[in-house]
Amino acid sequence: MSEKPILAILYDFDHTLSPKDLQEYGFIPELGMEAADFWSECNRESKQNQMDQILSYMYTMLRKARGRVLLTRSSLTAMGRDVGLFDGVETWFERINAYARAQGLEPEHYILSSGLKEIIEGTRIAGAFKEIYAGSFVYDNDGVPVWPAMAVNYTSKTQFVFRINKGILDVTEDRGINAYMPQDRRRVPFTNMIYVGDGYTDVPCMRLVKSSGGHSIAVWNTQRDVADRLLREGRVNFVCRADYTEGSEIDVTVKTVIDEVAAHARTRQLHVLAADKAKQSGNAILEL
């Protein structure tokens, strides 16, 4: 465990750090399809089979690629190179890390996404994240995807918030994540978390972090009506444009939250010191 209090910033990816869905940069164009047609087909598949929407798109990717696109772990990762990012994202992590450390915090960044982990791992910013929690495939000996290994939908995202909170980051560790753990033993208090997402698929995580004392931010790109609705409904603390450049609205907001987290960490430390002194004083009186 870090000696410094940990600041954890959790992000969705599609439409939060990137303007489009991950599949729209490489995979769907290789199929020769329009994005709207691909997603419509995924939705039809989901309704016809009463299928989870994330499993539906993963299945549709495998089915549509058959005989048309060479789909392997390495080809999916290569698609990450072409993923677009919002302004300022590439320098965001270094700037936020420097600011947090100057305030006495140890920053960590996490992805919680319904997109594909393999594509995210190929992006220019993949190295900024401590963990990437996203959909992924099981691969055969030739690196060809054959089955979903992980499907992350809007409700299953919340398990990863608890994993970060408790410090149980291994997705195969189920017993520990469900076991009772006192709040003072948890690696990252909810109050030290910031969740950044763009819409309704992020609501369970946004609400969980906010109601537990952390901060949630809804970002928007071209239209802010959904983000504003989330704020009016009490799902988030802040609404910011998806512009991550220095001095932008989200830059100022996150740094202000960092100031608050750092101040709370210092007051907690002062409380512990005062409690220790009071205990020692009480013992001295008893000895007399």
pLDDT tens for each residue of 128-159: 999 999 999 999 999 999 999 999 999 999 99
Q: What is the mean pLDDT of the segment spanning 172-188?
A: 90
Contacts of residue 242, defined as CB under 8 A and 6 or more positions apart, other chains included, come to 15, 16, 17, 19, 86, 198, 219, 220, 221, 250
Please check whether residue 203 is in contact with residue 17, taking contact to mean a CB–CB distance below 8 angstroms.
no
User: Residue 288 — pLDDT band, cuts 50, 70, 90?
Assistant: very low
Spans of all domains in the chain: 6-21+85-276
Please check whether residue 155 is in contact with residue 204, taking contact to mean a CB–CB distance below 8 angstroms.
yes
**pLDDT at site 287:** 53
Tokens standing for 47?
């309704």
Q: State what percent of residues in the chain have pLDDT above 70.
A: 97
Q: Give the residue carrying structure tokens 């220790």.
A: 276
Q: The sheet that has 238-241: what strands, in order across it? A: 145-150, 131-139, 106-116, 6-11, 193-197, 215-220, 238-241
**pLDDT at site 270:** 85
Q: What is the mean pLDDT of the segment spanning 209-215?
A: 97
> Mean pLDDT in the chain?
94
pTM score, whole prediction: 0.93
Residue 196 has pLDDT above 50, yes or no: yes
pLDDT digits (tens, 9 = 90+) for 19-56: 999 999 999 999 999 999 999 999 999 999 999 999 99
Residue 11 has pLDDT above 80, yes or no: yes
Render the burial of 180-213: b for 16+ CB within 10 Å, e for the rest: ebeeeebbbbbbbbbbbbbbebbbbbbbbbbeee
For 6-21+85-276, which CATH superfamily applies? HAD superfamily/HAD-like (3.40.50.1000)
**pLDDT at site 285:** 54
Tokens standing for 7?
């600041």
Please check whether residue 255 is in contact with residue 98, taking contact to mean a CB–CB distance below 8 angstroms.
no
**pLDDT at site 284:** 59
* Pairing of β 193-197 and β 145-150: unpaired
- The Cα–Cα gap between 28 and 185 comes to 45
